[in-house]
């Protein structure tokens, strides 16, 4: 936009001529002397061009700038609301989930970074997706698999992810849980962990059953994440795993020492 040489008017200094423009600073020569103004901000209240076409272009720039500022303010407000919500989140002691992935489900789970809660097998809700009422933004989904030919005691933890920060299990009607964009992790086969030792506080019978998921305590889930980060120590995944673990403990208000 060529503004140098254009006739301009100021509410106080009267008529003038634009003599220079350096990025967002406009220089104008008035009878009272040379003045500098922010561009295009000053056109919202003090300045106006004699050329109507250029004036309209500047108004369009102002509208675009104001729209960007408004969008940025909304993002800041949204982020503040998100942080306030997480700080006030009521923590339920057993609000974590562990999933049984069948062989044919593993590739899709890690490609889409999502899991299915399965379906009710009987009762009024038979055939409908199972709900996870306990899951909230503080929850993780631990992913496990028992390979064909292996005994149930050899079930392995193959990955884990946090749920999104706006997730509420009671509102998950389709039974699909998407992973958090950042806090998610897939273990290499050499780093996979045995699952059942983490449930030593439960009866010793190691049987999964027909359900797609079961609940875990927050402390048990934290121990799993701790061991996952230890398993990848010294690899390129170490820093990410440590951030994952620290985020989980912070959001669940846990101060642990394993």
Counted domains in the chain: 2
For residues 147 and 204, state if they share a domain.
Answer: yes
Last residue of a domain, one of 46, 66, 87: 87
**CATH code: domain of residue 220:** 3.10.590
Residue 2 in any domain: the answer is: no
For residues 195 and 77, state if they share a domain.
Answer: no
For residues 179 and 241, state if they share a domain.
Answer: yes
- Which regions in the chain score pLDDT beneath 50? none
Last residue of a domain, one of 70, 87, 104: 87
Residue 21 in any domain: the answer is: yes
**DSSP code per residue over 142-178:** EEEE--TTS-GGG-EEEEEEEPPTT--GGG--S-EEE
For residues 44 and 78, state if they share a domain.
Answer: yes
Residue 231 in any domain: the answer is: yes
The whole-number pLDDT of residue 17 equals: 97
Region of 39 please: left (phi>0), alpha (psi -120 to 50) or beta. Answer: beta
Residue 216 in any domain: the answer is: yes
The whole-number pLDDT of residue 183 equals: 98
Burial class (CB within 10 angstroms; exposed 0-12, middle 13-18, buried 19+) of 219:
middle
For residues 116 and 173, state if they share a domain.
Answer: yes
Last residue of a domain, one of 87, 115, 136: 87
In sequence order, the 6+-apart residues with CB closer than 8 A to the CB of 255 are 249
The whole-number pLDDT of residue 211 equals: 86
The whole-model pTM stands at 0.67
The whole-number pLDDT of residue 101 equals: 95
The domain in which residue 28 lies consists of 7-87
Which alpha helices (DSSP H) does the chain contain, by range?
52-87, 103-112, 218-231, 238-251
Residue 258 in any domain: the answer is: no
For residues 191 and 138, state if they share a domain.
Answer: yes
């Amino acid at each position: 936009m060529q503004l140098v040489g254009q006739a301009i008017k100021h509410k106080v200094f009267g008529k003038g001529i634009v003599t220079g423009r350096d990025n967002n600073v406009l220089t104008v020569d008035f009878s009272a002397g040379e003045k500098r103004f922010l561009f295009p901000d000053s056109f919202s209240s003090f300045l106006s061009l004699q050329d109507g076409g250029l004036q309209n272009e500047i108004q369009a720039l102002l509208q675009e700038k104001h729209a960007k500022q408004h969008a940025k303010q909304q993002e800041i407000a949204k982020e503040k609301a998100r942080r306030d919500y997480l700080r006030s989140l009521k923590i339920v002691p057993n609000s974590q989930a562990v999933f049984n992935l069948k062989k044919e489900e593993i590739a899709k789970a890690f490609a889409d970074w999502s899991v299915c809660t399965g379906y009710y097998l009987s009762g009024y809700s038979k055939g409908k997706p199972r709900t996870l009422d306990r899951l909230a933004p503080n929850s993780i989904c631990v992913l496990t698999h028992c390979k064909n030919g292996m005994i149930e005691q050899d079930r392995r933890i193959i990955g884990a992810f946090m749920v999104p920060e706006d997730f509420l299990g009671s509102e998950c009607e389709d039974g699909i849980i998407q992973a958090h964009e950042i806090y998610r992790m897939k273990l290499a086969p050499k780093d996979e962990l045995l699952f059942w030792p983490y449930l030593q506080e439960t009866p010793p019978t190691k049987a999964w059953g027909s359900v797609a998921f079961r609940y875990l305590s927050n402390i048990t889930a934290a121990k799993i994440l701790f061991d996952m980060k230890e398993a990848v120590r010294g690899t390129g995944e170490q820093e990410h795993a440590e951030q994952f673990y620290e985020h989980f403990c912070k959001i669940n208000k846990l101060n642990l020492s394993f």
